[in-house]
C-alpha cells in the first residue's frame, strides 16, 4: 500500500466519515455532568467493525474512558492519539440558530453543533484513522493507541490524568509521540501546531463582612467594598509575582507565524493591522488574569456580609500556583490588612477573607521540539495535505497535554486538530467539513509513516 491509496480511500468514504461525526455530535456529553459513557458504544461499535481491541473504563455515574489499540504487541515506537468526549454545555439554547445537538450540515461545507470543533471533530478523525489503518491491513512495526477520555472540560483529572497513571504508566506502555486533537485553527491564519500551553488557576475569593441596614451603612462592613478593594489592587501582582522569562519572546512567536506567509514583511503588515493577533501573541509571553464571576447581596436594602468572586489566572511555563497565591495573599493581608482564613465559617462580627482553589493545571511546553525528526515529518504531512505551511505556536488556553508532558511520560506531545479555536465554546459552534477531512488525511498519513518506519 502507498500513500495515494490511503488518500483515495479517505476521499471515497468521506460521506461515511461526515455521517459518523454528525452522529457523535448528536450524543449528549455535556460536562457538567459529563455523560461521556453515552458516546462510548458508538465509538466501540465503529472500531469493532474492524475487530480493533477496545477497553472501557467506567467511573462515577454514566462516565467512562476508552482505550483502543492497533498492533499492541509491536516492538517499535508507539503513537498515542488523545481526544476528549465531553463538551461544554450550550448555554442559552435560544441564542443558537441551529439546535446544539442537531449536527446541522450547511451547504456541504459546515457542520454545526456543540463540540463540532471542541473536540468531536478531532476525536472522530482519530477514531477513523485507527479504523482505516486496520482496514487497509497495513503492516506496521509500531503501535497506535487511541485514548478517548472524559473530564477534559473540567480539568481532566478523571480523564487523561487517570488514564496516564492507571493505564499507560502502570502497564508500562511507553509513548514516543502524542497528538491531542484540539482545534488549532487560528483564523485567518493557517493551521497551527501547538507545542505548549499556558497553565490555568481559578481562585474563589470569599469576603466576609458585617451585615446591616442600608440606611446606616457605617454600622456594618460591606463585603462588596472589600471585594472591590481586592480587584483594584490586583495590578500589584505584576510587582509581587517573580519575573520569569517566557519560553518564546514576541519576536520569536512572530517569526514562527511568519513562516506561513510569503515574506515576513507581508506577515508584519497583517500583524500590525490585526489587534486580536497582537493580543494573542502578547498574552503568550506573560501571565494574565480576569475577574470573571461576582455574587453578593440578598436584598436591595441590606448591606451584604458576603461577596464571592472568581479570578481566572493563566500562567506561563516557569510560573507556579504558589507564586500566584503568594502574590494574592500579599495584597489581601499586607496591603489591605484583611485576615485570611482557611475556614469560611465565622461569627457575625468577624471580618476576613477566604481563598479556595477552584481549578488548577500547570503550564507545559515541549522543550526539545526543534530537534524532533517526528515533528518535522508531521509538519511536512500537514503542509502536503492542507497546501499551506502550518506554523508552530503556543496556546493561550490549557489542555490535557500537561498530564503527558510535565510528568515526563511523553514530553513530545503536540496539539493539532480540525476546527478553529475561536468557535470553540461559542454559540453556533461549527467545523468546516474540508478541514475535518484534511485532518483525517494528516493523521492517517503521519500514522502510516510513523508506524511503518518505527524502530
Tens of pLDDT, residue by residue over 356-386, are 998 899 999 999 999 999 999 999 999 999 9
Is there a single domain that holds both residue 159 and residue 293? no
Rounded to two decimals, what is the model's pTM? 0.94
pLDDT tens-place string over residues 324-345? 999 999 999 999 999 999 988 8
Alpha carbon distance 388, 186 (integer Å): 14
pLDDT band of residue 87 (cuts 50, 70, 90) is very high
Is there a single domain that holds both residue 135 and residue 191? yes
| pLDDT tops 90 at residue 71 | no
- Tell me the torsion sign for CA atoms 275, 281, 285, 289: positive
Confirm whether 256 is domain-assigned: no
Confirm whether 266 is domain-assigned: no
pLDDT tens-place string over residues 198-232? 999 999 999 999 999 999 999 999 999 999 999 99
Alpha carbon distance 147, 158 (integer Å): 13
What CA–CA distances, in Å, run from 56 to 40, 148, 227, 312, 334? Answer: 8, 10, 46, 34, 51
End position of a domain, from candidates 330, 361, 392: 361
Is there a single domain that holds both residue 48 and residue 135? yes
Interhelix angle for 433-452 vs 14-25, to 10°?
110
Q: Which residues contact 126 (CB under 8 A, 6 or more apart)?
A: 81, 82, 83, 146, 179, 181, 443
Other beta carbons less than 10 A from residue 244's beta carbon:
15
Is there a single domain that holds both residue 15 and residue 88? yes
Q: Which residue range(s) make up the domain with 212?
A: 199-246+286-361
End position of a domain, from candidates 361, 390, 412: 361
Other beta carbons less than 10 A from residue 12's beta carbon:
9
* Closest to 196 measured CA to CA, from 361, 309, 359: 361
What CA–CA distances, in Å, run from 387 to 136, 358, 438? Answer: 25, 43, 10
Alpha carbon distance 271, 281 (integer Å): 10
Residues 303-319 have a mean pLDDT of 97
Alpha carbon distance 205, 308 (integer Å): 6
pLDDT band of residue 453 (cuts 50, 70, 90) is confident
Alpha carbon distance 136, 63 (integer Å): 32
Confirm whether 328 is domain-assigned: yes
Is there a single domain that holds both residue 103 and residue 22? yes
Residues 382-392 have a mean pLDDT of 97
| pLDDT tops 70 at residue 440 | yes
CATH number at residue 62: 3.40.630.10
Percent of the chain exceeding pLDDT 70 equals 100
Confirm whether 101 is domain-assigned: yes
Is there a single domain that holds both residue 352 and residue 388? no
Residues 346-351 have a mean pLDDT of 86
| pLDDT tops 70 at residue 119 | yes
**pLDDT for residue 415:** 99
Is there a single domain that holds both residue 135 and residue 76? yes
* Closest to 210 measured CA to CA, from 224, 196, 228: 224
**pLDDT for residue 455:** 60
SS3 content of the chain, % helix, strand, coil (to 5): 40, 25, 35
Q: Distance of alpha carbon 6 from its chain centroid, rounded?
A: 29
Confirm whether 142 is domain-assigned: yes
Q: Which residues contact 35 (CB under 8 A, 6 or more apart)?
A: 28, 29, 62, 63
Residues forming beta bridges with residue 81, ordered by sequence position: 146, 179
Is there a single domain that holds both residue 19 and residue 91? yes
Is there a single domain that holds both residue 128 and residue 222? no
Is there a single domain that holds both residue 413 and residue 346? no
End position of a domain, from candidates 334, 361, 388: 361
What CA–CA distances, in Å, run from 107 to 19, 111, 338, 357? Answer: 15, 9, 59, 45
Confirm whether 273 is domain-assigned: no
Is there a single domain that holds both residue 161 and residue 228? no
Confirm whether 275 is domain-assigned: no
Q: Give 156-225 as a DSSP string.
A: STTTHHHHIIIIIITTT---SEEEE----B-TTS-BEEEEEE-EEEEEEEEEE-B-EETTSGGGSB-HHH
Alpha carbon distance 131, 143 (integer Å): 13
Beta strands 413-415 and 177-180, pairing class = parallel
Residues 110-127 have a mean pLDDT of 99
| 34-38, 356-360, 414-418, 423-427: the lowest-pLDDT one | 356-360
Tally of domains in the chain: 2
CATH number at residue 293: 3.30.70.360
pLDDT band of residue 140 (cuts 50, 70, 90) is confident
Beta strands 364-365 and 288-296, pairing class = unpaired
* Closest to 404 measured CA to CA, from 121, 183, 197, 257: 197
Alpha carbon distance 129, 146 (integer Å): 10
pLDDT band of residue 1 (cuts 50, 70, 90) is confident
By residue count, the chain amounts to 455
Q: In the predicted model, what is the mean pLDDT of the chain? A: 96
Confirm whether 28 is domain-assigned: yes
Is there a single domain that holds both residue 129 and residue 53? yes
Amino acid at each position: 500500500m502507498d500513500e495515494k491509496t490511503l488518500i483515495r480511500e479517505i476521499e471515497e468514504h468521506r460521506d461515511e466519515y461526515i455521517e459518523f461525526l454528525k452522529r457523535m455530535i448528536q450524543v449528549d456529553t455535556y460536562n457538567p455532568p459529563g455523560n461521556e459513557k453515552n458516546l462510548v458504544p458508538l465509538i466501540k461499535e465503529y472500531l469493532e467493525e474492524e475487530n480493533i481491541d477496545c477497553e472501557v473504563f467506567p467511573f462515577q455515574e454514566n462516565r467512562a474512558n476508552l482505550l483502543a489499540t492497533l498492533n499492541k504487541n509491536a516492538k517499535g515506537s508507539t503513537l498515542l492519539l488523545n481526544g476528549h468526549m465531553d463538551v461544554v454545555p450550550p448555554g442559552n439554547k435560544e441564542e443558537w440558530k441551529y439546535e446544539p445537538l442537531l449536527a446541522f450540515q450547511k451547504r456541504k461545507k459546515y457542520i454545526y453543533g456543540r463540540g463540532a470543533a471542541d473536540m468531536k471533530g478531532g476525536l472522530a478523525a482519530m477514531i477513523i484513522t485507527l479504523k482505516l489503518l486496520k482496514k487497509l491491513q497495513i503492516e506496521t512495526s509500531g503501535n497506535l493507541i487511541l485514548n478517548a477520555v472524559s473530564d477534559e472540560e473540567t480539568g481532566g483529572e478523571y480523564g487523561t490524568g487517570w488514564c496516564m497513571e492507571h493505564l499507560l504508566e502502570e502497564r508500562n506502555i511507553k509513548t514516543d509521540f502524542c497528538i491531542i486533537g484540539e482545534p488549532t485553527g487560528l483564523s485567518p491564519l493557517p493551521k497551527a501546531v501547538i507545542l505548549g500551553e499556558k497553565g490555568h488557576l481559578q481562585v474563589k475569593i470569599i469576603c466576609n463582612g458585617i451585615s446591616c441596614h442600608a440606611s446606616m451603612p457605617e454600622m456594618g462592613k460591606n463585603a462588596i467594598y472589600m471585594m472591590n478593594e481586592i480587584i483594584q489592587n490586583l495590578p500589584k501582582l505584576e510587582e509581587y509575582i517573580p519575573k520569569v522569562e517566557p519560553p518564546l519572546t514576541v519576536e520569536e512567536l512572530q517569526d514562527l507565524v511568519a513562516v506561513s506567509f510569503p515574506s515576513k514583511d507581508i506577515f508584519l503588515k497583517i500583524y500590525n493591522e490585526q489587534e486580536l493577533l497582537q493580543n494573542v501573541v502578547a498574552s503568550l509571553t506573560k501571565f494574565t488574569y480576569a475577574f470573571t464571576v461576582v455574587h453578593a447581596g440578598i436584598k436591595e436594602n441590606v448591606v451584604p456580609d458576603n461577596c464571592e468572586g472568581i479570578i481566572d489566572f493563566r500562567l506561563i511555563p516557569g510560573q507556579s500556583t504558589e507564586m500566584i497565591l503568594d502574590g494574592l495573599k500579599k495584597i489581601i493581608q499586607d496591603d489591605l490588612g484583611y485576615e485570611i482564613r482557611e475556614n469560611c465559617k465565622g461569627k457575625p462580627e468577624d471580618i476576613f477573607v477566604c481563598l479556595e482553589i477552584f481549578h488548577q493545571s500547570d503550564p507545559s511546553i515541549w522543550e526539545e521540539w526543534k530537534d524532533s525528526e517526528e515533528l518535522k515529518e508531521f509538519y511536512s504531512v500537514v503542509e502536503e495535505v492542507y497546501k499551506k505551511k502550518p506554523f508552530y505556536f503556543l496556546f493561550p488556553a490549557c489542555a490535557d497535554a500537561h498530564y503527558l508532558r510535565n510528568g515526563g511520560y511523553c514530553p513530545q506531545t503536540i496539539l493539532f486538530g480540525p476546527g478553529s479555536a475561536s468557535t470553540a465554546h461559542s454559540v453556533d459552534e461549527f467545523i468546516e467539513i474540508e478541514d475535518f477531512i484534511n485532518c483525517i488525511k494528516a493523521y492517517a498519513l503521519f500514522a502510516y509513516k510513523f508506524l511503518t518506519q518505527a524502530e
